[in-house]
């Protein structure tokens, strides 16, 4: 369990908080590229790390992410005109480019230089991997580019992605991603229900070991951990997951597919986005020309406007099955077809994490041996926060190349994680460990 103070340190993300300052050292996913599909298109409202922002793509295709409110009288820039390389506030006509510089102020005298001295808060952006990234930290520490995760390195036609809003703190969602034991329960089915991956953890006559042994190793980008399940034929089934600081997990796929990145991006203390981004081909066949496998059904989402308790709104995407409709829970299906009766794996996760409340009270927990990865992550994060407060910057943001890793789903005779990683680190273009 965590103390109340430790819980606060890990979950609060606003500017000036320990975790908020740590997260601002990284390039962060702000939007999917297709949320701003065209130049001079509609601006969208968003919120990142508790800051209300507006995003727009200008005439030249550059993306601006700026304060949601005009610095003149705080009118909402969402209603602005996106035209001629700038976003113009419709209240008095003040116009700002993607860097935040005021480039036109028609309500002031022509001879005035006021506009040259005025800026709206704006953050650098970088577009890669079908995603728009934002950097919100100290200018002098800005990393050269976002992390080179697997999905950023494949062609656009071999990548897919989606996002949706979750009404829970980002940390409890990330912890669910690092929990390999729940796969044997929450995501299990009694048959193929058509909404997920049947038998994520194999029950094929060889193993149905539902209490995996966990092993963790620190890396430059976070840590890697393996869940070892014994098989009846005498060897082991390993699921090896990558934790990429500060909020990404690469989950092994039972079909060997590459990608599988899940990113839990904090919107504020009580909400986050879940990004599911990945490739479409098995990792061992990345070098096979023209091999594009059929895609699994994606979680259905829909565009929507979300209103926060403070009355502010954002334009986002919502899961079709969510709290408002009990996550699609069907008790008859639960009796006959699936462990939960809830369709789709991400929806099952969402029901659990949102059901904990906005911020889970970890002082009431009772953790067991299957929670080793979660404990490891918390200790690592607390250590990173302590180091930053002492003046030691994290290594990973300035070295995007260290993120060139992949997860692993494999049978092996080896009983120790380092041996498994060594055995399989050179069998594909993307190594298990760099």
Check which CATH number belongs to the domain holding 91 and give it: 2.102.10.10
Burial of 304 (0-12, 13-18, 19+ CB in 10 A): middle
- Structure confidence at residue 211 as a pLDDT band (50, 70, 90): confident
Do 405 and 367 sit in the same domain of this protein? Answer: yes
Which of the listed residues 116, 141, 166 is the one where a domain comes to its end? 141
Angle at 146 between CA 226 and CA 97, to 5 degrees: 150
The domain total for the chain is: 2
pLDDT for 15-32, tens place per residue?
A: 999 999 999 999 999 999
- Structure confidence at residue 406 as a pLDDT band (50, 70, 90): confident
User: pLDDT at residue 434 above 50?
Assistant: no
User: pLDDT at residue 403 above 50?
Assistant: yes
Q: Which of 48-57, 295-304, 397-406 has the lowest mean pLDDT?
A: 295-304
Do 247 and 320 sit in the same domain of this protein? Answer: yes
Do 167 and 45 sit in the same domain of this protein? Answer: no
CA distance 251 to 344: 16
Q: Which of 169-173, 195-199, 323-327 has the lowest mean pLDDT?
A: 195-199
Looking at residue 389, what is its pLDDT? 98
Phi, psi (rounded to 5 degrees) for 398 = -85, 0
Q: What is the mean pLDDT of residues 257-267?
A: 81
Do 322 and 411 sit in the same domain of this protein? Answer: yes
Residue 434, in any domain of the structure: no
Do 137 and 169 sit in the same domain of this protein? Answer: no
Q: What is the mean pLDDT of residues 206-218?
A: 79
Q: Which of 75-79, 295-299, 413-417 has the lowest mean pLDDT?
A: 295-299
Q: Which residue has the higher pLDDT, 46 or 279?
A: 46
Residue 18, in any domain of the structure: no
Do 105 and 248 sit in the same domain of this protein? Answer: no
CA distance 189 to 172: 24
User: pLDDT at residue 201 above 60?
Assistant: no
Q: Which range of residues forms the domain containing residue 279? A: 150-424
Is residue 140 left, alpha or beta, with left meaning phi > 0 and alpha meaning psi from -120 to 50? alpha
CA distance 303 to 265: 18
Count of beta carbons in the 10 Å neighbourhood of residue 325 = 10
Do 136 and 155 sit in the same domain of this protein? Answer: no
Residue 261, in any domain of the structure: yes
User: pLDDT at residue 282 above 60?
Assistant: no
Looking at residue 283, what is its pLDDT? 43
The encoded tokens of residue 184 equal 């044997």
Do 111 and 166 sit in the same domain of this protein? Answer: no
The encoded tokens of residue 202 equal 């194999």
Residue 8, in any domain of the structure: no
Residue 108, in any domain of the structure: yes
Do 103 and 206 sit in the same domain of this protein? Answer: no
Query: For a pLDDT cut of 90, what percent of the chain falls above it?
Result: 68
Residue 14, in any domain of the structure: no
Is residue 236 left, alpha or beta, with left meaning phi > 0 and alpha meaning psi from -120 to 50? beta
Which of the listed residues 119, 141, 163 is the one where a domain comes to its end? 141
Q: Which of 42-56, 119-133, 171-185, 244-258 has the lowest mean pLDDT?
A: 244-258
- Structure confidence at residue 94 as a pLDDT band (50, 70, 90): very high
CA neighbours closer than 13 Å in the CB half-sphere of residue 201: 26
User: pLDDT at residue 205 above 50?
Assistant: no
Bond before 131 cis per omega within 30 degrees: no
Which of the listed residues 109, 141, 173 is the one where a domain comes to its end? 141
Residue 314, in any domain of the structure: yes
Q: What is the mean pLDDT of residues 361-375?
A: 91
User: pLDDT at residue 386 above 60?
Assistant: yes
Q: CB–CB of 7/361 below 8 Å?
A: yes
Looking at residue 284, what is its pLDDT? 43
User: pLDDT at residue 195 above 80?
Assistant: no
Do 44 and 177 sit in the same domain of this protein? Answer: no
Residue 185, in any domain of the structure: yes
The encoded tokens of residue 111 equal 């001879």
Do 371 and 351 sit in the same domain of this protein? Answer: yes
Do 343 and 224 sit in the same domain of this protein? Answer: yes
């Amino acid at each position: 369990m965590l103390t109340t103070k430790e819980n606060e340190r890990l979950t609060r993300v606003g500017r000036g908080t320990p975790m908020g300052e740590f997260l601002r050292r990284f390039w962060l996913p702000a939007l999917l590229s297709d949320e701003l599909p065209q130049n001079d298109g509609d601006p969208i409202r968003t919120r990142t790390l508790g800051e209300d922002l507006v995003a727009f793509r200008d005439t030249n295709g550059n993306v601006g992410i700026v304060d949601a409110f005009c610095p003149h009288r705080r009118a909402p820039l969402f209603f602005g005109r996106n035209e001629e390389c700038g976003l113009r506030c419709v209240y008095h006509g003040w116009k700002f480019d993607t860097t935040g510089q005021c480039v036109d102020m028609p309500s002031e005298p022509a001879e005035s230089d006021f506009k040259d001295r005025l800026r709206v808060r704006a953050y650098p952006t970088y577009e890669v991997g079908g995603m728009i990234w934002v950097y919100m930290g100290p200018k002098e520490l800005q990393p050269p580019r976002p992390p080179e995760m697997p999905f950023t390195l494949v062609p656009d036609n071999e990548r897919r992605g989606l996002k949706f809003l979750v009404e829970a703190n980002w940390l409890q969602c990330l912890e669910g991603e690092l929990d390999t034991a729940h796969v044997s329960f929450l995501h299990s089915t009694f048959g193929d229900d058509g909404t997920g991956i049947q038998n994520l953890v194999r029950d094929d006559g060889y193993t149905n070991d539902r209490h995996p042994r966990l092993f963790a190793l620190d890396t430059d980008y976070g840590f890697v951990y393996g869940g070892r399940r014994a098989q009846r034929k005498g060897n082991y089934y390993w699921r090896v997951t990558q934790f990429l600081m500060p909020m990404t997990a690469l989950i092994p796929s039972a079909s060997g597919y590459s990608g599988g990145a899940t990113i839990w991006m904090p919107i504020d203390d009580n909400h986050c986005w879940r990004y599911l981004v990945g490739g479409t081909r098995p990792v061992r066949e990345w070098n096979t020309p023209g091999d594009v496998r059929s895609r699994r059904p994606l979680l259905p989402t829909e565009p929507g406007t979300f209103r926060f308790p403070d009355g502010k709104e954002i334009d986002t995407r919502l899961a079709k099955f969510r709290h408002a409709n009990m996550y699609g829970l069907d008790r008859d299906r639960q009796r006959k077809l699936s462990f939960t009766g809830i369709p789709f794996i991400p929806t099952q996760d969402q029901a659990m994490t949102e059901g904990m409340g906005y911020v889970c009270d970890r002082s009431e927990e009772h953790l067991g041996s299957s929670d080793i990865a979660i404990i490891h992550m918390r200790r690592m994060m607390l250590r990173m926060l302590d180091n930053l407060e002492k003046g030691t910057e994290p290594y990973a943001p300035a070295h995007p190349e260290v993120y060139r890793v992949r997860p692993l789903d494999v049978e092996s005779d080896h009983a120790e994680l380092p041996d498994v990683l060594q055995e399989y680190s050179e069998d594909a273009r993307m190594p298990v460990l760099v």
